[in-house]
Structure 1
């Protein structure tokens, strides 16, 4: 069993070797310190096996034919304690008796004499084959190594966040430039209200004799609904006008003439309150 003093000495000596490794400059010194570290680790056993529910009982090996009592056959490990460092311990507990498929009292033993136990032990030792693989030791990190790993993770997180912020900045900057210099000039639809096409349509409708006969005089425009898209060569919008007699809705369709570089009204549909449709071309 490794005592508490021995465990404290192990961690103390290991920390000293690690400090010397950091300060060592020549390869020979580093190689010697690595050998000392491997030897120190190989001699350290972090598990306390001396924790049993029933103390080992001495068996009379001279009288091999002597029978073994039932109480003597029972031997169980109550727990194993693994020591990670001076302050950290891992306790491994067996499965509770209530959750075992086979209880202790129902366990069937195949030996009844000392000779049976010794023969079983020799047969098990004969079947054991030593492994030729190099033992790998997975060491727990020290406090300094944990702090270094946390610092590296924070640096990586900050670097990743700065990269995301950089992409966001240039992305929003590109969207803003596209909105002000591209979308608003070439893609954003413009309202028909108070445009040249709007005033030409109002003038044409007001001067029409047929509109004056249907609606009466003193025409007033009440509503205009429609938009003009810069990339499209056609445009359609609606007007609602009131007269002395009744009101009517006008659907105006216009096309852009590239040769004359101006909008040309193709036709106007008038729908009165009586649902009559009149086309002006």
Structure 2
């Protein structure tokens, strides 16, 4: 099976690497062509100069970029599917223009459910399958091939066909419902994470201002009802003002903005 991957950022690059390591023929695209060339030099496979070229060569194509407009730019070849200012050439270079009937587009970007439904409808019109499949686990999860994938897909058979591919970089994967359900589930995930992280940060700040040994506090309370993945994995570095985990505050603000819009 030939698998395409559009977007070689902190998440996409290791995800594509895992696909190559599992024996898939991988074709990559990145806005920065030099980055795509470097990825191929290191991992094998091929790179394409446009998203359309990826679609023309592959059975399944993954997209993992920044936001709704970035996804539209890759898929439709323009900032928006409805953009009147997009040149015909840019539209022709979009991923959807290259996808053949029977292929599948997978969007791993954390984006809106509205976009997922828009993409699903556009793909359906070309007899192309679509899965919105945002991931959780961060950069570490991508590097270690241990992501959780939350999927929305209108066709169970399409999901079942692509499901084994996700195993290359996922420890868990589930279809949550029709198109958009994956993104809605990711919104639930982000609301939970934002609440836990902010609560943990406030609690640790309180502990230190009160003159307590924060490490000892965490050691004790982590054995009770306050225990969480964030406490176990982030508390020690929070206390030491170390926050470089590959996920920027701006990204969380973007994700929560999607939640507010949906609510």
Shorter chain as denominator, the TM-score bin is under 0.3
- Give the TM-score of the pair, scaled to structure 2: 0.16
Which one has the bigger helix percentage? 2
Larger Rg: 1
- Give the TM-score of the pair, scaled to structure 1: 0.15
Between 1 and 2, higher relative CO (CA 8 Å, sep ≥ 6) is seen in: 2
Which one has the bigger strand percentage? 1
